Chains A and B, each alone.
Chain A
Amino acid sequence: MTEKIILRTEGLTKHYGGVKALEDADFELRDGEHVAIVGDNGAGKSTFVRQITGVESPTSGKIHFDGREVEFKSPLDSRDVGIETVFQNLALADDLDVPSNLFLGREKIYFNLGPFSFLNERLMHTRALEALKTTGVKIPDLKSKIRYMSGGQRQCVAISRAASFASKLIIMDEPTAALGVQETAQVENIIRTLKQRGIPLILISHNLRQVFDLVDRIWVFRRGRIVGVVDKDKTTGNEIVAMITGVKSGVGDEATFA
């Protein structure tokens, strides 16, 4: 792993009116590194993701990506520099089929007529098949609407989309929260492939077993603040739980890895 820093935030802060959802977050991610963000419900994890992907503008603070300061005005800006995100509430259009969702916002066209450009549906279909193949996701009928798919299949479509377009960074906000055992294993495999491809990852998860299995470092958020970062190899589940809850000791034995 290189020591190059791919993403760094300085004093990143987001207030929603009176709600201090994110306070003074100093975060960094090395190139090729896989990290997890953990924390209780409402700790500010998704808020952090929305600031670094251009979905929202931070109240204050700086974001450095790939060696320069950036100010994303929209999710498109972050995508343009190679950041792909799987948002917590699935960003899929239910009434569209799989290829349309994979290519939403970056359709393949025959020639440019602005909004009235004709779509190259055949190319998108082939590319969608390839994308699903490299991530090992099986969807029997690409032409059927997302609406008619199971939660696991939808999630896999969203993850395949991110995994196949990501070039510099991939962010997943609780990708396996709604999945069964088998689908969770599948998503974890996709993440391991990303590690081999050398693409850095930020994984948000409440599942500490998964976090310990997959990542190099763990960032802990509590009530909008970053309360610590530890190497996976130098910590234990109990220590992480203590950091998440803010209880220094004594809770360890009952802490579950759920």
Chain B
Amino acid sequence: MAETSRGIGGLAFDASKRARPPELNVLIALIAIVAAFELLGRLLIGDSFLFNTRDNVDGIFNQQRLEIIILQVSIVGIIAIGVTQVIISGGIDLSSGSVVGATAMISMSFAQVALVNGQPNPKGVFLEQGWVDLPVIVPVLVGLACGLVAGLINGALVAYTKIPPFIATLGMMVTARGVARWWSKGQPISFPTESFAAIGKGLMPVVIFVTLAVLFMVILRYTRYGKYCYAIGSNEQAARISGINVEHHKILVYSIAGVLAAVAALVLSSKNLTAQAGMGVMYELDAIAMAVIGGTSLSGGRGSIVGTMLGALIFGVIISGFTFLRIDAYYQEMIKGVIIVAAVVLDVYRQRVRSRG
């Protein structure tokens, strides 16, 4: 038998086909977008996007703007981590925004103080039961449990009924929003304890986001869990034949996504010091957009948390860039929609190039 140094196969193996990491492209896009806003800012409104132009504060960068950018994407970023691993394993989760709403309402009810200015808490949900001034662990555990239940139901529906993930999680999206509205008959729930309010105070959302991102980076890259996410998203049949319990894995994946949505809800309601039934509307789409902009493929098997973090930054930069350029909020919504579609088109295009090459 003939042996060749380049191995066997009709086609010569081309090492350059080992494509450069997609995260690099996302990073380049991020830098390009920042540069574009810098340029537009100087041309249109005579101000710098990135750099400090005021004499009365220190530092070369516009610290305040950078903080706002990161802070405003952190909460959705936490959701995006969960959504990323769902998409990598070939699914989708449309319920996260509503799970945020329901979780915020329910957990906030267990985080309230008894007295406001010496009067009984006017918004108190469980005043009669005396469930006030509880230790912070109670609302946190209640919240995480809400997310877990939602995720378990999503996962079980996807794994065992074989209905498309899009439909299963759409059902949860509507149901969880209903729960959020029903919980206090539409009333906002406010006045949390000091310790609950500390969860989302200051830069805490950023700290929590980055910690979770690093944790899931490691899990997806180095553990069996991560390997199975990519395997199932890549070829579910192959994963099953290789002996992976695909059903169990999917339930785990959706449960983790639900818990992460609950974490986002805790941080958000703590930061706002109130919970409202409309909280988190459309967050699921923002989270999916962050993942897709970051190079996670909607057809599964490809993506990374690093990419999603970069995608989140791009998202934050664009939104604060528009505010900086004083573009109206209505236009911002429209442009956001265009960006989401553009990211998906890019993904489809990348795929076509790949299958051709």
Contacts and interface: CB of A to CB of B under 8 A. Distances in A.
Interface of A: 55, 74-76, 79, 85, 87, 89-96, 100, 104-107, 109, 113, 115-119, 121, 136-141, 143-145, 147-153, 156, 180, 182-183, 185-186, 189
A133 B305 CA distance: 35
Contact of B230 (A55, A96, A107): A96
Contacts of A92: 235, 238
A250 B227 CA distance: 56
A33 B289 CA distance: 56
7 contacts: A92-B238, A95-B234, A105-B242, A117-B224, A151-B9, A156-B9, A182-B8
A148 B17 contact: yes
Given A74-B243, A79-B243, A107-B227, 19 more contacts: A74-B240, A75-B242, A76-B243, A87-B241, A93-B230, A109-B224, A115-B225, A116-B223, A116-B224, A116-B225, A117-B223, A138-B5, A139-B13, A144-B18, A147-B354, A151-B10, A153-B7, A156-B8, A180-B10
A41 B232 CA distance: 29
B2 interface: yes
B223 A119 contact: yes
Contacts, number: 132
Given A140-B15, A153-B8, A182-B2, A93 B224 contact: no
Which 8 pairs across A and B sit closest by C-beta, in order of nearness? A76-B243, A150-B9, A105-B242, A105-B243, A138-B7, A95-B301, A152-B9, A95-B234
A183 B18 contact: no
Contacts of B17: 144, 148
Given A55-B241, A150-B9, A138 B3 contact: yes
A91 B235 contact: yes
Interface in B210-263: 219, 222-225, 227-228, 230-231, 233-235, 237-244, 249, 252
Nearest to B6: A140
A91 B15 contact: no
Contacts of A116: 219, 223-225
A116 B1 CA distance: 43
Contacts of A151: 9-10
A14 to B, nearest CB: 17
Nearest to B302: A95
B11 interface: yes
A121 B233 CA distance: 20
Given A94-B301, A115-B223, A141-B18, A152 B8 contact: yes
B9 A153 contact: yes
Contacts of A106: 242-243
Contacts of B241: 55, 75, 85, 87, 91
A152 B2 CA distance: 15
Contacts of A76: 243
Nearest to A113: B223
A75 B241 CA distance: 6
Contacts of B244: 104-105
Nearest to B224: A117
Contacts of A141: 13, 15, 18
A94 B235 contact: yes
A186 B9 CA distance: 10
Interface string B280-313: 0000000000000000000001100000000000
A138 B18 CA distance: 17
A interface, over-half SS: loop
Contacts of A79: 243
Nearest to A188: B1
Contacts of B18: 141, 143-145, 148
A151 B354 CA distance: 15
B242 A152 contact: no
Give the interface centre of B5, B231, B249, B302 by most chain A CB atoms within 10 Å. B231
A152 B9 CA distance: 5
Nearest to A78: B243
B159 to A, nearest CB: 15
Contacts of B10: 150-152, 180, 183
A174 to B, nearest CB: 16
Interface in B1-33: 1-11, 13-15, 17-19
A95 B238 contact: no
Nearest to A116: B223
A85 B240 CA distance: 13
A193 to B, nearest CB: 12
B218 to A, nearest CB: 9
B222 to A, nearest CB: 5
A162 to B, nearest CB: 11
A63 to B, nearest CB: 18
Contacts of A118: 222-223
Contacts of B15: 140-141, 144
Contacts of A153: 7-9, 13
B16 to A, nearest CB: 10
A89 B1 CA distance: 26
A138 B244 CA distance: 27
B243 A119 contact: no
A66 to B, nearest CB: 19
A96 B227 CA distance: 8
Nearest to B7: A138
Interface in B146-193: none
Contact of B13 (A105, A140, A183, A185): A140
Nearest to A189: B1
A94 B234 contact: yes
B103 to A, nearest CB: 24
